[in-house]
Structure 1
Amino acid sequence: MILKLAISFSTLFIILFIQPVHSQKGSGNGDLQLPNESDCRNRIIHASFGGKQYFFSWEYSLTQNLSVNWITARNICRRHCMDTVSIETLEENQFIENRMLLTGTRFTWTSGRKCDFEGCDRPDLQPTHINGWFWSGSGVRLGSRNGRVEGDWSNTGGDGEAQPDNREFRVKGEHEESCIAVMNNFYNDGIVWHDIACYHKKPFVCESSDQLM
């Protein structure tokens, strides 16, 4: 079944661990698509792991050259009763790494997002570049950036700073790096996480979602 790209953009986005709906910045903006019954029934599955099913955009002939921004990636997945991947265990992290190594994929979007929009002024999220990260696909918060473990956030970036570093905003004064991508040795740092401005276009991984079935 061809993955459909009909996206209606606005400034609203539902976050599971923060109530209610809030506007967001950058290309993390947009209306979240509801699942499509036909697309869900005919979705492509490339692998199963840990009780979840996965679709890798670069492994399907109709999307192998497709790169989209963060919110578009989420909505493609959501139409198929999936969401962009939430990497919640070391084992799942290794699974995604191995798939990228196998295919030589340079980078991929995840559902990772920084809480830097309306409603993110809660004390426990401050400062948001350290404590405000979460998986939007599952609603699970990430631990503090300062509690990094081997194999997740990179220890370097474009100017040598440990991730997340919000480099694009610091250097250019625009576009917060509010979304998480997995990068394949982009800075000679292995396959690790980087904060990226959400408007950038990348391949993506979809993960089955019990909430959307």
Structure 2
Amino acid sequence: MKVLAGLVVLAVVCATAQAQFANGRILEPPVPELCAQRVIHERRPDGKGYFFSWREPATRNVEEDWLGGRNYCRQRCMDLVSIETQDENEWIKSRLVRENVKYIWTSGRICDFKGCDRTDLQPARVNGWFWTAELQKLAPTTNRQQNDWSENGGIGQPQPDNRELLQGGAPENCLAVLNQFYNDGVNWHDVACHHRKPILCEENDALLKYVRYTNPNLRV
């Protein structure tokens, strides 16, 4: 059973690692040595650890686009944070406020890959959002009780509004948490994925299991 579980994890990690984006960049696999050396700044009661780039001297001023942020985290057996509970959401927001961080990426993204034309994901701007790190679908954006989308944005409309595309730019396909950016509190916003933001990583169980399974002599 343990071998089968390991093979399943291996298959999932390899499949996601080979995901290629339109610009030729890829979703990178973990690097065992970096996983073993990963920095954890805080752990929540469930035991999962978090890395805040602005707290670490080497990355204090580092900002990455959405894929760059994911790859930085994934190399270390982590991923951009997936906000799966109200408690986790409030915990993260409190850190942004306390440490005066303007914004962060999450692993959230609208499903815009091959296979995303499924009926249950339509319309995509309502039903197509998911936590990519966990492959977990978000509640529809119309269900305002099950998410934390802001009621305001750059054009005065509730989020997600796809503002940048409407104004002639890129589609806003990635989910960020913004801290009073539009004087609207600390809330979720859809943002074009090429923007650069600080990195908030969360330990990823699948990547940790994969590295432990393939590197049994390495303490991870």
Q: TM-score, normalised by structure 1?
A: 0.86
Runs of 4+ in 1 over 3 A off after TM superposition: 13-16, 21-26
More helix by share: 2
Shift of 1:51: 2.5
SS state of the match for residue 84, structure 2? coil
CA-to-aligned-CA distance 1:65-92 (integer Å, 9 cap, x gap): 0111000000000010000000000000
Q: Which runs of 5+ in 1 are unaligned?
A: 1-12
Question: Counterparts of 2:51 and 2:66 in 1: how far apart (Å)?
Answer: 16
Q: How does 1:14-163 map to 2 (within 5 A)?
A: 24=21, 30-49=25-44, 50-149=46-145, 152-163=148-159
The correspondence for 2:166, drawn from 167, 170, 175, is 170
> Letter of the aligned partner of 1:177 in structure 2?
E
> Letter of the aligned partner of 1:147 in structure 2?
N
CA-to-aligned-CA distance 1:74-125 (integer Å, 9 cap, x gap): 0000010000000000000011001111110000011000012321111110
**Aligned counterpart, 1:196:** 191
Structure 1 residues 147 and 24: CA distance shift in structure 2, 3 A: farther
Q: TM-score, normalised by structure 2?
A: 0.83
**Aligned counterpart, 2:215:** none
Instruction: Count residues with an aligned counterpart.
Output: 194
Q: Does residue 208 in structure 1 map to residue 203 in structure 2?
A: yes
Q: Is the 8 A contact 1:69 1:198 kept in 2?
A: yes
**Aligned counterpart, 2:176:** 181
Q: Is the 8 A contact 2:20 2:26 kept in 1?
A: no
Report % sequence identity.
Answer: 46
Structure 1 residues 161 and 98: CA distance shift in structure 2, 3 A: same
Structure 1 residues 150 and 209: CA distance shift in structure 2, 3 A: closer
Structure label with greater radius of gyration: 2
